[in-house]
Structure 1
Amino acid sequence: MKRRHFFQKAGALSAGIALGLRQNSQASEYAANFNEQPFTVGINDYKVDYYVPGLDQSLSILHVTDTHLWRDDERGQPYRQFSKRMAAAYNETRHFLTGKPTNPEEAFEATLLAAKEAQVDAITLTGDLFSFPSEAAIEWALERLEAVGIPYFYSSGNHDWHYEGMEGSLHDLRETWIQKRLLPLYQGRNPLMYAVEVKGVNLVNIDNSYYEILPEQLAFFQEQVRKGLPMALMMHIPLYAPGRTLGYGCGHPQFNAANDRNYELERRQRWPEAGHSETTMAFHQAVFEAPNLLGVFAGHIHRQTVDWVNGVPQFLTQPNAAGGYLEVNILPMDPADQTKFARTV
């Protein structure tokens, strides 16, 4: 039996106070249950419209992922042996709509302008904002994010903190370069997991940038589910969906050392021989069983796709390196529609 019914059409905290933005630490008086009161989803190109029962105000989000900024300066000279490949990977791209030449910096600035013109409530940045942890690129991005004046929520991707060939486990390298370089982007929040309520929707950010989930992240997600607010989950690595490749690697049954084809190219620690931890698999299950989850928003594979797993949509967005983004509008459902599409037992 399907959990929900959907329609598919055509295939800086101060800035946030006026939006009702707050760190989410309290349980909600209204407990969303989309098993009983389903939402609908309409998809038109790079725009997604949700109609959600129980909401009393609209929320607009710009989902941005995989910008791959590569600007560097003399401070990066000692790390060139680790950054050389990715520094040359996205110097010129082609715009996802026009096909005309562009580049990550031009695309990012155009995206921020689009966010401002659309008057979105928040920008979600789900990883690989950088091709490597360049101080120059991080400073450049921070200046522009602060100037646009829109609340933004960042979590890292596998390239943001990775210097290829540098010794250390993925876990330790992530910790090291978040603390040394990326920390200002989190604006005082926990880099591995945090949630912010914006206009009645709980935006939950989980860092799964080396495909695995930690026990404290699973516990945090379960806590957010119990709060009962409508939730949107933001991550870099997409969750496994039937028929998908290892790019959808979080919770993928074939994730293991034998199937890791890129560890030599990326000069990184190989995936575990035994595959995913029990915690990661439990997280995968918990996500697709959450009764108040509106959807998962991820990147990593550099294509726009959508999967419905157990009634939960997972949206992947075009790479921002090529100008891509996803405009997400979460709107109150009309009471008449709410009655019409309520689940009948």
Structure 2
Amino acid sequence: MTLPLSVLDLAVVRADATHAEALADTIAVAQEADRLGYRRFWVAEHHGMPGIASSSPPVLIGAIAAATERIRVGSGGVMLPNHSSLVVAEQFGTLVALHGDRIDLGLGRAPGTDQVVTAAIRRGIAETVDDFPAQVLELLAYFGTIPALEGGQGSRIVAIPGMGDAPQLWLLGSSDFSARLAGLMGLPFAFAHHFAGGDRTPAAFELYRESFRPSVVLPGPRAMVAVTTLVAESRAEAERLLLPAALQFIRLRSGRPTRLPSLEEAEAHPWTDGERAFAAQRIEHQAVGTLDEVRAAIEGLATATGADEVLVVPQGPTLEHRLRTLRALAPEPVE
């Protein structure tokens, strides 16, 4: 495939694994993505979810960057309203100081958890999702990318590291709000089609381009789309291998979050017609099936959105399944 491919990994915690094993798996996936020639490797901030171990992206990004050589490493994303902009600037400024121009900072405005955990995370932090645009501007000022707003914190406080240590910054989203904001701010935009996908995905990219205003960061639009990806011998086998993830998400939606069930547990689950329909709907617009089917889905999504790059989100009940998908789609030939 000529389209640039990157990877988003959720540091999945399997039912039979420890947190240490889950994080080791993510580092192993990153190393393989690095070897195979993928452009970037992102991890996402989540909290209070037994099945996801990426609660601290800056720490995990540092470990991944130290274990890889050329691939860009970053967040997809850091949920900015959960944090002080100054702390984020210092964390990612430190990563840039350590690893140079390999660090990405993708920013989201959702909490990455439920309301109870959000309240615990944000204790003493006044920011809300409504403050997100101002926080982004403040963050850019801490990095020295734009001048500080007069009277703002960025005009009185210097982030060290941070000032002069700017990562590549992206705005992330799954809605019209994020698409429009990224365009108006002149920032790169990444859309979470892997969980918000459907017919409205192309519209978000169209809105981003219509809203785009050139900035010191970008002269023109730059966009990326994330898609759930699993390569198998057949479409039926791919759908079978996705049963654990579907069951995990159903439990999360029911207020009973769990680790990723084994394939055996998922197959033994007494699936209702509604649950099966939900699982099918979840992957309807994703890149799942044989290698040819997955490639066609990725290329079709890129054509429909005009995305410059695709973030594949490799799935499967084991580490080997995730690696198998990345190897099948490898941007560079591997001996």
Which TM-score applies when normalising by structure 2? 0.38
Of Structure 1 and Structure 2, the greater strand share is in: 1
User: Bigger relative contact order, structure 1 or 2, given CA contacts below 8 A and separation 6+?
Assistant: 1
More helix by share: 2
- Please give the TM-score of this superposition, normalised by the length of structure 1: 0.37
